[in-house]
Structure 1
Amino acid sequence: MRKWIIMLIAALFIQLLPAVAGAASGALTASIDQSDRKVVIEGRLAEPGAEVLVTVTDPNGRLDYFNQKTTDETGAFRFSYVSGSTTAGIYRVRAIGPSGAGGNDLQAEYTYTGSATNGNEPGTGAVSPSADVEIVLGADGTVVLKPRLTRDPVNGGLYATIGSEALKRAMELATPDSGGMRHLLIQAKSEEPAKAYRIALPAAALSMDSKSASITLDTPMAAVTVPSDMLAAEGASVAEFAIEEASRDGWNEATSAGVGNRPAVDIALKLDGKPVNWRSESSQVDVTIPYAPALAEQDAEERLIVRYVDDSGQSVPILNSRYKDGKVSFRTPHFSTYAVAFGGETFMDLPVAHWAHQAVGALAARGIVQGRTDGSFAPAASVTRAEFLTLLTRTLELRADDGGNISGELSFKDVSSSAYYAPALRAAAKAGVVKGDGSGNFRPSERISRQELSAMVYRALVSTGRLATAESQAASIVFKDESEIAAYARDSVKALADAGIMQGSNDAFRPAASASRAEAAQVMYKIWFANAE
């Protein structure tokens, strides 16, 4: 078995509970039936109707069980299960309540002597630790886990628990794709309606050192795909994801108008029962929200986007969001509230019949391009080098580094570090997109030519892995003015023309002509659209 699989299985089982300074007030007891390994855990918190998370670790510190429920009207709770471990010794039990509740961190232990018969033998009454999870191998190598859903009596939501044993089996069954990734799909679906779904699983499955696996949490409200390294530095035992209908209270007028009655979901994460503000630029998650476009939206689906709604009710568009096949999808580095919206201005000088109407509308919906103060777009106006660079880096979401740090001196003599385009220039220079004019200048205010635009776009696409280099490739498209293209831009023009990103007019490329705002938008739209496939 490959080394990383061994490491993954080990990580799923070898995990220690965090140290606790002292047991809080309250009561917790745990016992095991030595004949069939049935464990009963009972306790009480000071607060009734509070959520309590229970974890059990075996003598080697491996997670044997976890689950959660709400305490009754007296604050009492009870869990029972059949242990999947046959290791003899002391088992440690921990019950964690909400931070504000009295007796919110309780501990107990029980001893298993190792005298039970095989839990799978007839007559023992033992239940497989995966009995609540159906595991199905998909045709493409993806493994589907279908857990039993339990109704939360407090909020009416549905929750499911995926134990270590079920997750381990699913990982072993999954077939790696061409990139070596294994894919698991947890289907938390029910015929009963619900406004909230919670899925708990061992945090170790998401605490790997690399992206060797992905887990999709699929609910009727949204599907969230998380990578196996998203919690690499957290050190938790249990990860609980919540996907629920978002409250629209406190949204500002612009957010409410843009979203309308379209879906809005709130995605949150708890680690060991405590809410966390997870964020990671390097291990982002993919989200899809089901949506059926309205009749008026069906001819402009490229304007369907997702907006991130912050705690103040303001929102911003997610640039990479896009609609396809009944779902709006996006990638995000953090959990929060996200809503489907329909955007894009209608510019008075850009009618539906204009060849750039669709491109400009899609980019305007995402805030990538903007119109003039008089409501026009000025499609024939020229674009400066600084304006186009800003447009390019915004479309490709290029940053100076993973943390968005834009500090540092610029290497161009004619650029101020306080210029509005300075962050874009730093990111582009780091990626090798811009190189200046050979004399240490960038010439930000000059109109960008079509061949300069091609060179910038080509370098950006190559540096981000979106396009192969054009060296040694024969061009399938030949322009009658090819001899007029500068040597530095010939490979760029050839590659972009073959990719359908740039095109000429009447068999001519017009390399020295200034690029217009409409042409720049069309190029950015083709880049964005191609990246969506």
Structure 2
Amino acid sequence: MNAVRKYVAAVMLWILALSPAAGYAAASFELAVSAKEVLRGGTITLSGTGAGNDAQVAVKIVSPARTTFYVDVLTATHGSYAKTLTIPSDPALAPYGTYTVIAGSGSASAQKTFAVVEKLGSGNENPGNENPGNENPGNNNPGNSNPGTTPANGSPIPSGAGKASGSVAQPELSQDGRYVIGADTMDAAIKQPGSSVTIELPAAALKNGTPLELPAVSFKSLGDNNRELILSAGDLKIQLPAGAIPASGDAQSKVRLTLNTSLTNDAQSQIDRSIRSDASYKSTGVVLSVNIQLLSGSTSSDIHNLGKPATVTIKLTPEQAAAISARTAGVYFLNGDQAEYAGGTVDGGVLTFKPKHFSTYAVLQYDKRFADLASHWSETAVRSLAAKHIVTGVDATHYEPSRSITRAEFATILMRAVDWKGEAPATAAGTAQPFKDVAAGQYYAEPVAMASALGILSGYDGVFRPNDKITREEAAVALVRAAKYFSLSGGSGASAGKTAFADQADISAWAIAAVEQASTQGLMQGDGKQFNPKSPVVRAEAAAMIDRLLPVATN
């Protein structure tokens, strides 16, 4: 799975790095578009030859506003590839102007252009009164319902653009349809006491995908002053820690951020492609697209990865909150034809997740049902953890709830739970392996090393015994340590008060305190009389324990 993620990430980074200034294609690789002009609501086909059989072809379309209009990874069949797209009818989603198509496979790339026009054959990319020879459509652009054809780098940002009130800055709408904040305005907000600076955007900017631009030096100043940047628009809030967006002190460079929460036809199509192979997935209609560009001189480059994870919160509408199950909902990165789990929680009608990179995300529900769990006492816990991709089945339809779980397996799912919570310190990742019987490359090597580094799991005289069945008293120690370290206790298990088990004398001395805590915190239960400390933990029990460890979420 890690290899697939790294491969797809590399492909996406490559296509996001492509710009209209890319080099000429190798002679064998070709790209064609079906028309030079297309109407809103019409279709256009991208096709080409020269890719190897079953080769991956990365495709990106850049809009007239220099934002990403479409991105995909196609599979070539017998060296040929093709994709038909429907141009949105909404002017805000498909402004008139020239679109640049960039395609590539391996080291070869090619690019073409087409124009979205009001009337075919008019030769006018900005027809009618919508934008008559002027990048400012005047009264035809109330509230910026149509971002128009923002130039690659737009006009310079006046240093006093926008206004600041304390540490809150509000942008102004430029004549060419961008929201802008000047360096002096940002400096005034940054100099205020506090740990953050907030930029308030109109809620309409989310529907229209209207760009926000501010000087790159402002990001450097935010970092130098250790200030978090908060982007607020309607029900969306994005918190960017100091240094999350790398930017130089070049006074001529700008950062453009484009936020969009509209469920466009293209976004819906991408969701449908991503989940079509698994009926356990269901779309909720909640999406978020974030595009960040660094504009310098006549060039632009996409900023994909963040220096530090951001925190995104979206207040759901009452209708969305009622339709979304907090137990089975999660955030997914739409990665070509795949949906990659990105964590996330829904609690009290608020969605929260912490992306390490920005692109297009969707909230999906994953309600995995296993044939051997129907009416089983652990079914609810397994479904909840499967939705968080903490546990998986032994195959597509079976969980095997009564099968014993090994120490390696328990370490893996426990650290997945910790990773889902998003509180593992960065220094714990990549820790050297302390156990001589844990070979590099094993699926459990990294979680075992991290669990050891955090003091959650320990071994025996330098060995971990990964293939041994984990006992109930060993699991109790690990659960209590995890709950203490990550403040995870007080989850779905109710406190049972002090319990005296009939087999108390059988509990190892090093586990007595942990067993007591696990019992009183509701993380583990005996059979009513005995704890059975030396008995192996089965897969159903492991799921119940970890589900109790996690916080209770409500719609």
Both proteins in one fold, TM over 0.5? yes
User: CA separation of 1:134/1:171 partners in 2, compared to 1, >3 Å: closer, same or farther?
Assistant: closer
Correspondences of 1:350-429 after superposition (within 5 Å):
350-351=373-374, 354-373=376-395, 375-397=397-419, 402=426, 406=430, 410-429=433-452
Equivalent in 322, 331, 338 of residue 354 of structure 2 = 331
Q: For 2:382 and 2:210, how far apart are their aligned partners in 1? A: 38
Distance in structure 1 (CA, Å) of the matches to 2:522 and 2:204: 46
**Distance change in 2, residues 1:405/1:329 (3 Å):** closer
Distance 1:151 1:513 in 2: 72
3-state SS, counterpart of residue 263 of structure 1: strand
Alignment of 1:305 with 2:322, yes or no, is no
Indicate the SS of the match to 2:550: helix
Question: Shift of residue 325 of structure 1?
Answer: 2.8
- CA deviations over 1:5-43 (Å, ceiling 9, x no partner): xxxxxxxxxxxxxxxxxxxxxxxxxxxxxxxxxxxxxxx
- Tell me what 2:341 maps to: 317
CA contact (8 A) 1:370 1:377 kept: yes
Q: Would you say 1:488 and 2:507 are equivalent positions?
A: no
Pairing of 1:158-173 with structure 2 (within 5 A): 159-173=178-192
Alignment of 1:435-446 (within 5 A): 435-438=458-461, 440-446=462-468
TM-score by length of 2: 0.60
Contact 1:222 1:265 in 2 (8 A): no
CA distance in 2, matches of 1:151, 1:327: 35
Q: How does 1:93-242 map to 2 (within 5 A)?
A: 98=152, 129=160, 132-133=162-163, 135=165, 144-149=168-173, 159-173=178-192, 176=194, 182-190=195-203, 194-207=207-220, 208=222, 212-220=226-234, 222-231=236-245, 234-235=248-249, 237-242=253-258
The 1:464/1:324 distance shift into structure 2, 3 A limit, reads: closer
- Partners in 2 of 1:522 and 1:239 — Cα distance? 46
Change (3 A) 1:150 1:209: closer
Would the aligned equivalents of 2:135 and 2:176 in 1 still touch at CA under 8 Å? Answer: no
Mind listing any 5+ residue stretches in structure 1 that lack a counterpart?
1-47, 53-69, 79-95, 99-103, 108-126, 138-142, 154-158, 177-181, 469-474
1:260 and 1:129, CA in 2 relative to 1: closer, same or farther beyond 3 A?
same
Q: Deviations over 1:173-228 (max 9, x none)?
A: 55x4xxxxx24433312468833132233444544558943222123474321112
Two-structure CA RMSD over aligned residues (Å) = 4.4
Contact 1:344 1:366 survives alignment (8 Å)? no
Distance 1:165 1:289 in 2: 30
CA distance in 1: counterparts of 2:318 and 2:293, whole angstroms: 33
Q: 1:173 to 1:250 in 2, by over 3 A?
A: closer
Is the 2:286–2:363 contact (alpha carbons within 8 Å) kept by the matching residues of 1? yes
| CA–CA separation in structure 2 for the residues paired with 1:455 and 1:211 | 42
Asked if residue 340 in structure 1 is aligned to residue 354 in structure 2, the reply is no
How do residues 256-295 of structure 1 correspond to structure 2 at under 5 angstroms? 258=281, 260=283, 262-272=285-295, 274-280=300-306, 283-292=308-317
- Measure how far apart 1:76 and its partner are: 7.9
Paired residues of 1:197 and 1:219 also in contact (CA < 8 A): no
Check 1:263–1:511 CA distance in 2 against 1; reply closer, same or farther (3 A cut).
same
Kept in 2, the 8 Å contact 1:308–1:337? The answer is yes
Select between 423-432 and 203-212 the one with higher mean Cα deviation. 203-212
Q: Hey, what does 2:275 align to over in structure 1?
A: 255
d(CA) in 2 for partners of 1:50 and 1:424? 44
SS of residue in 1 equivalent to 2:257: strand
Give the C-alpha shift of residue 452 in structure 1.
Answer: 0.6
Structure 2 stretches lacking a partner, 5+ long:
1-62, 68-96, 98-124, 137-149, 491-495
Hey, what's the Cα distance between the residues in 1 that align with 2:508 and 2:553?
A: 28
Contact 1:393 1:424 in 2 (8 A): yes
Which AA in structure 1 matches 2:500? F
Secondary structure, counterpart of 2:285 in structure 1: coil
* Correspondences of 1:43-58 after superposition (within 5 Å): none
The alignment partner of 1:513 has SS state of: coil
Note if contact 2:199-2:231 (Cα within 8 Å) is conserved in structure 1.
yes
Indicate which of 485, 498, 502 corresponds to 1:477: 498
Deviations 1:234-284 (A, max 9, x none): 545533221124633555634367353612221111123523233246x21
Would you say the 8 A contact 1:260–1:341 is kept in 2?
A: yes
SS of the residue aligned with 1:441?
A: coil
Amino acid corresponding to residue 239 of structure 1 in structure 2: V
Please state how far the C-alpha of 1:422 moved relative to its aligned partner. 1.8
Q: Please, which of 446, 456, 460 is the counterpart of residue 433 of structure 1?
A: 456
Matched residue pairs, number? Answer: 399
1:474-507 deviation digits (Å, cap 9, x = unpaired): x962333444322222343344444443344426
Distance 1:375 1:532 in 2: 28
More helix as a share of residues: 2
TM-score, normalised by the number of residues in structure 1: 0.62
Secondary structure at 2:211's aligned position in 1? Answer: strand
